[in-house]
Amino acid sequence: MVKICCIGAGYVGGPTMAVIAVKCPAIEVVVVDISKPRIDAWNSDTLPIYEPGLDEVVKACRGKNLFFSTDVEKHVAEADIIFVSVNTPTKTRGLGAGKAADLTYWESAARMIADVSKSDKIVVEKSTVPVKTAEAIEKILTHNSKGINYQILSNPEFLAEGTAIDDLFKPDRVLIGGRETPEGRKAVQALKEVYANWVPEENIITTNLWSAELSKLAANAFLAQRISSVNAMSALCEATGANVSEVSYAIGKDSRIGPKFLNASVGFGGSCFQKDILNLVYICECNGLPEVANYWKQVIKINDYQKSRFVNRVVSSMFNTVSGKKVAVLGFAFKKDTGDTRETPAIDVCKGLLGDKAQVSIYDPQVTEDQIQRDLAMNKFDWDHPMHLQPTSPSSVKQELDYQKIFNNMQKPAFVFDGRNVVNADKLREIGFIVYSIGKPLDAWLKDMPAIA
């Protein structure tokens, strides 16, 4: 029986291993983590992450061929294939701070693998890492090898949160990068056989190590770039009276452009896009390519611009101040169907409003009050105002909002600012709201109170 061990029971490791286990009954999969509360949660009825369909998959194989454990060393020692999906946040201090990936967790995982291994291993990079990380890891392993043969593979994960299970069941492609040596090719083949249990062979791409590592960064950079492109257009739409949804539809009909990922929004969030682009920028700079670095940096600049543009729109439409005004924020996670708040644009928007002394109440069915408090207390920039944070209790906003009732209870003029273009703006206007939708023709009120970004 092939034994797989995955180091890191997070958003990537947990769902990915659950799907491998459910699709490959002949493989034993153990997910290990240093965090006991995380592992306890994976072994309980309340999993540590919310992901549609995940509960069913875990229930189907947990205790049979899927296990969660804190006994990291034992399971690493026993495994044939080790996936590493530990966190790789952006460095906050030292060389490359604010841009380069922090590989501390990766390095300690690699050293631990070298310490405890007694048989040959295939070590698979699952976390997004800078190009050439595999080489560094290979060095750590081979310099401490005690005669053991290690093959390093890069097998980046392309799942998106909220659709992780669907993405894993039917991936557009699986990408496996390895060394172009006989041993390297053998290792690639071994991993390919795991995925071939449910992924059609033509969807499994094999490349060299560096191509696989770079493809992950490139895919996320291209996706984020599409959002920044459409968000840049949304500002121009508001200025000219065009409608960004109509523009997106029109350009998306061009089969070379395609219709996906063209929704204007308050900005992209999530743990990957910004981190991976910063990483890409850093790699470009380190390789003497400042023009390329600046090109990708612009994707993040537009994203920041979009978030501040939204806040400025809110503030300017209420006579240039929201001080003491009550603002309800619906939704806090970085997208729907997830409780993940990493890099969510809601943090910047709420901080912007709190900075202008608004009384903010926040509701998200998937995010706890504690998490919101933690996110907003984070010191991204310094505060010179006291906070007026009043998170609502989850029961205070109903699934189906009665906008007429809400309108009746609000001070007039009453506003709705839609950062995702999800409300029926015309219906709300009929009730009497002034509505702002990103990239859509502006209500007369908003035209009279231009936002300065």
Q: Which residues are catalytic?
A: 272
Is there binding between residue 303 and ligand UDX (CB under 6 A)? Answer: no
Is there binding between residue 125 and ligand UDX (CB under 6 A)? Answer: no
Name the token pair of 420: 């995702």
Q: Which of 391, 317, 389, 399 is nearest to 358 (CA)?
A: 389
Is there binding between residue 130 and ligand ADP (CB under 6 A)? Answer: no
Residue owning tokens 């189906």: 400
Is there binding between residue 157 and ligand UDX (CB under 6 A)? Answer: yes
User: Among residues 244 and 416, whose Cβ is nearest to ligand UDX?
Assistant: 244
User: Among residues 138 and 213, whose Cβ is nearest to ligand UDX?
Assistant: 213
Name the token pair of 26: 């002949």
Is there binding between residue 134 and ligand UDX (CB under 6 A)? Answer: no
Is there binding between residue 364 and ligand ADP (CB under 6 A)? Answer: no
Name the token pair of 33: 């983590």
Q: Which of 406, 270, 258 is nearest to 336 (CA)?
A: 270
- Cβ-count burial 306-329 (b if 16+ within 10 Å, e if not): bbebbbbbbbbbbeeebeebebbb
The three-state secondary structure class of 283 is: helix
User: Among residues 11 and 68, whose Cβ is nearest to ligand UDX?
Assistant: 11
Is residue 272 within 8 A of residue 221, CB to CB? The reply is no
User: Among residues 225 and 338, whose Cβ is nearest to ligand ADP?
Assistant: 338
Q: How far is CA 101 from the centre of its chain?
A: 15
User: Among residues 39 and 122, whose Cβ is nearest to ligand ADP?
Assistant: 39
CA distance 85 to 64: 22
Minimum CB distance to ligand UDX, residue 319 (Å): 29
- Name the residue with the smallest CB distance to ligand ADP: 10
Minimum CB distance to ligand ADP, residue 103 (Å): 11
Is residue 9 within 8 A of residue 38, CB to CB? The reply is yes
Strands 434-437 and 415-418 come out as: parallel
Is there binding between residue 347 and ligand UDX (CB under 6 A)? Answer: no
Task: Identify what 10 binds: ligand ADP, ligand UDX, none; CB under 5 to 8 Å per kind.
Answer: ligand ADP
Is residue 434 within 8 A of residue 443, CB to CB? The reply is yes
User: Among residues 80 and 304, whose Cβ is nearest to ligand UDX?
Assistant: 304
Q: Pick the binder of ligand UDX from 262, 300, 311, 329 (CB under 6 A).
A: 262
Is there binding between residue 169 and ligand UDX (CB under 6 A)? Answer: no
User: Among residues 154 and 263, whose Cβ is nearest to ligand UDX?
Assistant: 263
Q: Pick the binder of ligand UDX from 13, 14, 269, 439 (CB under 6 A).
A: 269
How many other C-beta atoms are found inside a 10 Å radius of the C-beta of residue 30?
Answer: 23
Annotated binding site for NAD(+): 8-13, 33, 38, 86-90, 127-128, 161, 272-275, 342
Task: Identify what 331 binds: ligand ADP, ligand UDX, none; CB under 5 to 8 Å per kind.
Answer: none
How many other C-beta atoms are found inside a 10 Å radius of the C-beta of residue 450?
Answer: 14
Minimum CB distance to ligand UDX, residue 262 (Å): 6
Is there binding between residue 161 and ligand UDX (CB under 6 A)? Answer: yes
Q: Check residue 234 and give left, alpha or beta (phi > 0: left; psi -120 to 50: alpha).
A: alpha
Helix 273-286 vs helix 290-317: crossing angle, to nearest 10: 150
Minimum CB distance to ligand ADP, residue 86 (Å): 4
Is there binding between residue 190 and ligand UDX (CB under 6 A)? Answer: no
Residues 266-325 that bind ligand ADP (CB under 6 A): 271
Map residues 199-228 to x or -, x wherever contact with ligand UDX holds by CB under 6 A.
---------------------x--x---x-
Minimum CB distance to ligand ADP, residue 33 (Å): 4
User: Among residues 141 and 333, whose Cβ is nearest to ligand UDX?
Assistant: 333
Q: Check residue 264 and give left, alpha or beta (phi > 0: left; psi -120 to 50: alpha).
A: beta
Is there binding between residue 158 and ligand ADP (CB under 6 A)? Answer: no
Is residue 382 within 8 A of residue 411, CB to CB? The reply is no
Is there binding between residue 346 and ligand UDX (CB under 6 A)? Answer: no
The three-state secondary structure class of 397 is: coil
Number of helical (H) and strand (E) elements in the chain, helices listed first = 17, 12
Annotated binding site: 8-13, 33, 38, 86-90, 127-128, 161, 272-275, 342
* Sign of the CA dihedral running 161, 167, 172, 177: positive
Task: Identify what 227 binds: ligand ADP, ligand UDX, none; CB under 5 to 8 Å per kind.
Answer: ligand UDX
Q: Which of 133, 305, 233, 131 is nearest to 297 (CA)?
A: 305
CA distance 77 to 383: 49
Minimum CB distance to ligand ADP, residue 48 (Å): 8
Quote helix, strand, coil % in the chain, to nearest 5.
45, 15, 40
* Window of 263-271, 293-301, 401-409, 439-447 that interacts with ligand UDX by CB under 6 A: 263-271
Residues of the shown chain interacting with ligand ADP in the complex, contacts defined by CB under 6 A: 7-13, 32-35, 38, 72, 85-87, 105, 108-109, 127, 271
